[in-house]
């Protein structure tokens, strides 16, 4: 099979070719590996190439709806037995997972051929995939730009045509942000729909969920049918939905009432291109017969940002300390941003953490009030076109001034320091729209309907009420049919320095 033939099919299409014996899984894998060798030195999307495991699996008997389709998992939470889940950090690179995570088992049961892991920022704590361990991951649409994060490697690999779909997870926008900046479809399922065990339970107090990034809506729909269903060991029981998600892409949605909000919930600037992306999406919705209102949920956005950051800081502290206990690594072996967040997180008093978590109820009820009158809310996914690589790096002056404090364990100083708090806030200005769906546990998606005048993708976000994944998929399929995007391809990357870690 030639690459252009491979790229012309989504995952569902490739699985059909395998089922009809028009192509063998080993052929598909070889095309994927060749494409990876061609583009990844410039993209840095793959953190670990599991070539031997992929070839062995492709050669063996396979069954399931995605039998024979090449696939990449994210190097965070998605454990593959015998291979490390490095989570973007050097200390975990040499520790193999003892067993598959539940989501990986379901992927394998579906017949996917997993042959590698994709890059992520350290512990997935940033919206930009740049680490001291793996370097910067680059956007196939412009190598000087970021694909976002934390599922940035998956987004870059899918956009560049290495695989039609790849694993991701989303704790504050980590599926939707890179989808928006990489020209992909990204759906964050609602809380509890997909399993996340057995190594963890309610990741980030329920902020995080597993998922995929894809070029086609039907791939994501078919993947929800594979993944949805209860985890017997989870804290909460979430029954498998009665409906079949793949049916959603064949059914037009009813005429919907959609609230449109342009303004950043934290009061920061929104780029004109991000506004145009939503304006064009709203105009298309009206052409399709949907009703548009201009409305937003009422809550204190800056307080939401700090309540969100409080939980992230506490989580960073627990994750860093657990990793050090497991590996014996010293604090200085981790990225500065991770160490700063962890230091602040260790100093968060228990009552402040609980208060921040309890205020999530206020934001959830504000969004529920909006959904009482509207089926969905439409916003920009991100507040600007993809930033340049390195733009969000911690300024050297801040690292120089703050570094000694970290060594002294002065996390309390950080949490009370206005400059540090404003620095945390500033890092959310590019991505202020996505955390609300995580805090409230609502399903949300980014749809790639817009390109800037210089050709950069910029997605629009829809946030639904609980259990609205089926409706979101219906609307996404309608938008995809009205303004197709899967055939759009980024320019071929030029050769660049970089390497892929290969596990033989």
Distance CA 462, CA 258 (A): 9
Residues whose CB is less than 8 angstroms from the CB of residue 395 and which lie 6 or more positions away in sequence, other chains included: none
In SS3 terms, 291-343 reads as EEEECCCCCCHHHHHHHHHHHHHHHHHHHHHHHHHHHCCCHHHCCHHHHHHHH
Q: Residue 400 burial (CB < 10 Å; 0-12/13-18/19+)? A: exposed
Distance CA 315, CA 125 (A): 9
Helix axis angle, 469-482 relative to 272-287, nearest 10°? Answer: 90
Phi, psi of 118 (to 5 degrees): -105, 155
Catalytic residues: 74, 150, 174
Start-to-end CA span in the chain (Å): 25
Distance CA 218, CA 16 (A): 13
Residues whose CB is less than 8 angstroms from the CB of residue 397 and which lie 6 or more positions away in sequence, other chains included: none
Tokens describing residue 244: 């079949």
CB atoms within 10 A of CB 213: 34
| Alpha helices (H) along 90-187 | 102-109, 152-159, 176-182
């Amino acid at each position: 099979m030639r690459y252009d033939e491979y790229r012309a099919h989504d995952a569902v299409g490739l699985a059909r070719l395998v089922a009809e014996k028009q192509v063998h899984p080993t052929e598909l894998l070889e095309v994927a590996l060749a494409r990876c060798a061609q583009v990844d030195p410039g993209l840095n999307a793959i953190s670990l190439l599991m070539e031997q495991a992929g070839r062995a699996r492709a050669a063996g008997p396979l069954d399931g709806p995605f039998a024979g389709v090449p696939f990449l998992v994210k190097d965070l939470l998605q454990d593959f037995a015998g291979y490390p889940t490095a989570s973007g950090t050097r200390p975990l690179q040499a520790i193999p997972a003892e067993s598959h995570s539940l989501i990986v088992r379901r992927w394998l049961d579906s017949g996917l051929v997993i042959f590698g892991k994709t890059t992520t920022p350290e512990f997935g704590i940033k919206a930009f995939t740049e680490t001291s361990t793996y370097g910067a991951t680059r956007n196939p649409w412009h190598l000087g730009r970021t694909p976002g994060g934390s599922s940035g490697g998956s987004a870059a690999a899918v956009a560049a045509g290495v695989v039609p779909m790849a694993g991701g997870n989303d704790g504050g926008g980590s599926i939707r942000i890179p989808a928006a900046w990489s020209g992909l479809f990204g759906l964050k399922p609602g809380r509890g729909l997909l399993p996340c065990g057995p190594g963890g339970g309610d990741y980030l107090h329920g902020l995080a969920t597993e998922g995929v990034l894809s070029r086609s809506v039907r791939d994501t729909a078919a993947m929800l049918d594979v993944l949805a269903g209860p985890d017997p060991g989870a804290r909460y029981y979430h029954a498998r939905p009665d409906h079949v998600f793949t049916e959603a892409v064949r059914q037009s949605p009813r005429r919907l009432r959609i609230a449109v909000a342009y303004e950043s919930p934290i009061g920061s600037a929104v780029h004109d291109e991000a506004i145009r992306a939503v304006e064009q999406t709203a105009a298309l919705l009206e052409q399709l017969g949907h009703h548009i209102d201009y409305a937003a949920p009422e809550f204190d956005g800056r307080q939401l940002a700090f309540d969100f950051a409080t939980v992230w800081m506490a989580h960073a502290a627990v994750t860093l300390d657990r990793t050090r206990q497991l590996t014996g690594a010293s604090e200085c072996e981790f990225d500065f941003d991770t160490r700063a967040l962890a230091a602040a997180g260790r100093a968060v008093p228990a009552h402040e953490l609980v208060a921040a978590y309890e205020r999530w109820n206020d934001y959830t009820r504000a969004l529920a009030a909006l959904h009482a009158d509207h089926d969905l809310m439409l916003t920009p996914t991100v507040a600007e076109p993809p930033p340049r690589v390195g733009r969000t790096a911690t300024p050297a002056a801040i690292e120089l001034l703050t570094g000694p404090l970290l060594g002294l364990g002065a996390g309390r100083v950080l949490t009370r320091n206005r400059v540090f708090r404003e620095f945390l806030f500033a890092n959310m200005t590019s991505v202020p729209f996505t955390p609300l769906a995580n805090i409230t546990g609502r399903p949300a998606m980014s749809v790639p309907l817009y390109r800037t005048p210089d050709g950069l993708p910029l997605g629009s976000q829809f946030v639904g009420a609980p259990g609205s994944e089926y409706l979101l998929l219906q609307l996404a399929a309608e938008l995809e049919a009205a303004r197709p995007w899967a055939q759009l391809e980024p320019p071929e990357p030029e050769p660049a320095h970089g390497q892929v870690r290969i596990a033989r």
